[in-house]
Each structure stands twice: as structure tokens, then as C-alpha cells.
Structure 1
Amino acid sequence: MTVREAVTVERLDGAGAARAEGELRKVYAEVFAEPPYFESAEGVEAGFRRFDAEVREPGFRAAIARAADGEPVGMAYGHPLGAASGWWERMITPVAEGMGREDGRRTFGLMELAVRARWRRLDVGRRLHDALIEGAGEERVMLNMWPEATAALAAYRRWGYRKVGEARGGADGFVMDAMILDLPPHS
């Protein structure tokens, strides 16, 4: 069995993600301590205070990847954007009229996706991403990402995402790329 085959991906709802918080936090803390993020322990704590609220959002879903020994190697999570989500209000770049209309069913907000270094380039990130959007009723997926994260940017582009503008992120107002993936219509 190859390393790629040995990795399993499990999709979780909000309650399941809350139970797996320790595993998700472990992956998050390790991955986002790396450049270009340089996330501190305080930043991880702040991120998981948001996570505690996000798991209660309607439609929240997560995915966790584990190695054959059960060790968490990747994670992703998000939820549909409601009308009052605030994502579009952080845009610096004007977007086409109607693009920012949200109703809790139109757009899935991909909040985080992270894969530990040893398991990168094995399609773990893609499998996590696909587990989140498989069978989704949303029209599109939106994410904000650091433009300096060139490997992540290349992956998102390969998966079909396109940049729609720039947005302010976090309390310190750093600039992030806002990206959208249009999902195929459901029959």
C-alpha cells in the first residue's frame, strides 16, 4: 500500500468536528506556523475561538485526513455563507453587481484547508476539498488566501478557482486574494 492509499479522509458535521477539534487544531497549528503564515500560539487560539462558533453554523462541514496509524495529516472546514456573513464587506476590489448576494445556500465558504508537510503533493488537499463539496447544494465555493502561499495558490488554480478580487483579512487588515470556484449545476 502506498502512502497515498494509506491516507483516509472522513467528512464531519459540526458536532463531529467539535469532537475532533484537538486533531484539527494540531494540523492547523503545525501548518500555519510555517511561512508565509507564521501563526503564533495566540493566533491559533484566536482561530479556534472562531472555530467554536463556526461549527454551530448551519451547514457546517469539515474533513479530516488520517494516516494509516490514525495520525491527523490534513484538515479542511467551512460553511455556507449567510446574508450577514460579512465576507463581501471586507472586499477592497469592487465586484460585479450581484456577486456578493448571499442567502445561506449560494456560496460555501472554505474557511481553512491545511495539509502537514510530509503528506503534501499526495492529493490529500484535493481529497479534503472534494469531501467538503461532494453533494453540496451550493453554486460556488469562496475562499480568501494569502497571495504569498504560492503552492496553495497553484493548487486552487488547478482545481478551477479564479481570483475575483482582494479582501482585508483579520484584525490587522492584511490583504488576501478572494477566490471563487463555480460548481457544476445539480440535476
Structure 2
Amino acid sequence: MRSFGPGILGVLDALSDAYVEIFTAPPWAHRSPAATRHDFRERLKGDVHRPGFRAVVATDEAGAVAGFATGWITQAPFPTDRAYGKVLQRLGADRVDELLIGSFEIDELGVRSRARRSGLGGQLLSGITDAAPGGRSWLLTWGRAHDALAFYRRQGWEEPEAAHGEESDVVVFLSPP
């Protein structure tokens, strides 16, 4: 497994191939591969400039990307673009400030189907969070990504209670204490 900062863009093509394979398969099969590739590439080009950005990439015996994870330190003010508004709605502003600001935010974690059930996902999760400030990390995933939900729960990640009963289609997880 290799760690990267902004240099991850040097393997953007290989990373994009893996991303499209992972995130256009069920439960994301409704996504267009071309649009998914374009959006991921554009997002990553900006994300590498976020404070504390880092990535880990695992390759198989042939040198192809088998899995990867990316993330950064969540800054204040908490963003409202992408799915952040749903996180804010789900947790409330005070809990976002308490639980997420200053923590390491895992933005992407993906493992190609041929590498699943090998322990690679857990290794990537540990590798991306090993330098988290105060050991605090968080992530969100889609509520219909049942395999991802089960994976994070098996890893000991916990879901904070929703504020005021607010629910959405995203699930927030906090790293184990």
C-alpha cells in the first residue's frame, strides 16, 4: 500500500478506472460510467488541495489498483455542497462542530470486486486514518449501500444518533473510540 498527497494525480488514470468499476456497479449501477469518471477526476483535482489531504492506494500483483481511500481534515465552516447539507441536517450544527470539525474525513474508500473479502478494505481504512487528528475520523455513505454499511459496522465504526429525528439517505459513521 502506498500513501500519497497531491501526487495522487500522477496515477489519476489508473485510479479513475478503479473508481468507475467500483462506483458504477450495484448499488450505484444507475450511474453513467463516463459521467462518473469525469466527476471523480474533477473532484479529485480540487480535493488534493484541501488541508490534510492524503490518499492510500493498494495494487494487485499485476500493478493494477485493487483499492484506494482518500480524505482530508474537515474544516470550519462546514461545507454545504455535495452531501454535506444532508450531514448537517442529520446531525445538527452543534453536533457537526463537536464531532466532525477538525476530524479526518474519509471521502472515498473503494475496493474492486476481485479484491473484496480479502481484508483489503480494513487495511485501507486503517491506512487512511492512522494519522487522524486525535484519532478522530468520520465518513458518510449512502443508506442503500448495504454492503458498505455492514463493512463499517464490522470495523467497529458507529453511527451517531440523528438530531431531532432527522433522517436522510446518507449514513454518517464515526471511527471507533
- Range into which the TM-score falls when normalised by the shorter chain: 0.7 to 0.9
What percent of counterpart residues are identical?
27
Partner of 2:91: 95
Pick the structure with more strand per residue: 1
Superposed structure 1 runs of 4+ greater than 6 Å apart? 102-105
TM-aligned CA deviation for residue 36 of structure 1: 0.6
Picking from 49, 53, 59, the partner of 1:66 is 59
| Alignment check: 8 A CA contact 1:108 1:138 kept | no
Picking from 169, 173, 176, the partner of 2:170 is 176
Pick the structure with more helix per residue: 2
- The 2-side partners of 1:149 and 1:21 are apart by 25
Q: Which moved more, 1:26-35 or 1:105-114?
A: 105-114
2:18 pairs with 1:22: no
- The 2-side partners of 1:109 and 1:84 are apart by 14
| Alignment check: 8 A CA contact 2:137 2:175 kept | yes
TM-score, length of structure 1 as denominator length: 0.79
What is the count of residue pairs matched by the alignment?
168
TM-score, length of structure 2 as denominator length: 0.83
Picking from 74, 78, 83, the partner of 1:81 is 74
Partner of 2:28: 37
TM-aligned CA deviation for residue 102 of structure 1: 6.9
Mind listing any 5+ residue stretches in structure 1 that lack a counterpart?
1-8, 169-174
TM-aligned CA deviation for residue 96 of structure 1: 6.4
* Secondary structure of the structure 2 residue equivalent to 1:101: helix
TM-aligned CA deviation for residue 158 of structure 1: 1.3
Mind listing any 5+ residue stretches in structure 2 that lack a counterpart?
none
Amino acid at match of 2:24: A
CA deviations 1:107-126 (Å, max 9, x no partner) are 11111111111110001111
RMSD: 2.5
TM-aligned CA deviation for residue 135 of structure 1: 2.8
